[in-house]
Every structure is written in C-alpha cells, then in structure tokens.
Structure 1
Amino acid sequence: MIRKAMWVLASLGLLLGALHLALTVPMYGRLSLEALWFAGSGLAVICCALMNVTALRNSPPQTRWAVVTMNLLIAGFFAAAWPLLPGLQVAVGFIIFITLAAYFGFVSAWQERAAHRAAIS
C-alpha cells in the first residue's frame, strides 16, 4: 500500500515537472534568460522524479541515499520558492518530495539495520 502511494507521488512529481516545463512558452512567449531558468527548474523536477521511479525498482541502498539527498534538495528549492511564490504548486511540490525523502530514508535505514543484524548473527 505504501509502495503504491510512493509510485503515485513519484508520478505526481513527474507530472508537476512536465507541467512546469510545458508552461514555459505560454508564460514567457520567447526565449529569455528567465524562460531558460524556468524550463531548467521543470527539468530538474522531472529528473528528480525519474530518480525516484528508478529507486522504487529495488535499487541498492547507496542509490536510495542519493535519491534521499536529491529529494531533500528539490524540497529545499520548493521551500525557498514559497516566500516568492506562495502558490499551491509550490506547497504540493514540497510535500511530494519531502515525503519521498522520508520514505526512502526510512527504507534505506531499515535495510542497513537488517543487513547489519544479519552480518552479526
């Protein structure tokens, strides 16, 4: 059940990034530095969401810790954006990626403890 919820969150993150990227042209209308930064932010969210999808497919603990780090970084950017753009999409992005970070952090820590216990016995 929880794993399915994480798939849904990773998919929502992917959709959020794709929407962000798709809105670049309608919002800016022409190529500019601001438009490139906006599009780049959408690409970063897409990349992070794809990392989560990859990690959900039984990746090693090192990969999961990298995903935790990436999720925390993207959540940090959403948190930093909040004072400038206190919109629903910013709050949703933060919630998606902080939840994914917590999930992968918990799973990785649990797996490391289980491996440690197995090595001791």
Structure 2
Amino acid sequence: MTRKAMWLLASLGLLLGVLHLTLTLPIYGRLSLEALWFAGSGLAVVCCALMNVVALQSSPPLTRWAVVTANLLIAGFFAAAWPLLPSPQVAAGFIIFIVLAAYFGLLTVWQEKAAQRAAAS
C-alpha cells in the first residue's frame, strides 16, 4: 500500500469518528449517560485516527508501535461492536484500523530489520 492510501484510510477513520460525534445529539436528543458513551466512542476513534496522521510523518519506531497498538485496540472495539450493531460503519471502522495496524506494523518491522542490517555492516 502506498502512503497516499494510508493517508486516505487515516482520513476516513477521522471522518468516521467525527461523524460519530456529530450524530450524538440527533440520535439521543439530549445528553445522557448513553449519549456520553456514544460520543466517547467517537472521540476514541478521532484520537486513534489522529495518531495515525502523526505516525505518517516519519515517526520513531516506538511511536509507530504505539499507533499499531492503538489501531489494534480500536479495531477490537469495532469487532466487539459487530454482534450488537452489524452495520456498514462498524465493518468499515474495523477494516480501516486493521489495515492501518498492519501497515505500520510491517513498516516498523521492515525499518528495524534494515537498521539492524546496516548496523551489522
């Protein structure tokens, strides 16, 4: 996958989170405990998407591993939501963040191995 595709996925993840946040009041009508949990889920998606945007800017390996972990956690969140809400946005969220996790994980492993080979030379 190219960096442009990863930017697109990170942007789609951000858009998904923002949409989730903006739908809170139209869906719930007022602030309630359920509405706050709903909004908090959207906020978590926004934060995870923003972490991906930061990691796309040539971050150190530790930062990328943190992003991989965050992506796997949010993908797990979408997977857990699927039995309760089998809808396209849940599937899209899972796919977006699992692909981002794979991209950053593979990129980081590849770069760490390249650095080890260079150091051994």
- TM-score surpassing 0.5? yes
Runs of 5+ consecutive residues of structure 2 not aligned to the other structure: none
Partner residue, 2:25: 25
Percent of aligned pairs sharing the same letter: 81
Partner residue, 1:55: 55
Distance, in Å, in 1 between the alignment partners of 2:37 and 2:55 is: 27
Distance, in Å, in 2 between the alignment partners of 1:2 and 1:90 is: 24
Alignment of 1:104-119 (within 5 A): 104-119=104-119
TM-score, reference length from structure 2? 0.99
TM-score, reference length from structure 1? 0.99
After the TM superposition, which segments of 4 or more aligned residues of structure 1 sit over 3 Å from their partners? none
Offset from partner CA, 1:45-75 (integer Å, 9 cap, x none): 0000000000000000100000000000000
Partner residue, 1:97: 97
Distance, in Å, in 1 between the alignment partners of 2:98 and 2:70 is: 10
Distance, in Å, in 2 between the alignment partners of 1:98 and 1:114 is: 24
Shift of 1:16: 0.1
Shift of 1:37: 0.2
Name the Cα RMSD after superposition.
Answer: 0.6
Other structure's SS at 1:30 match: coil
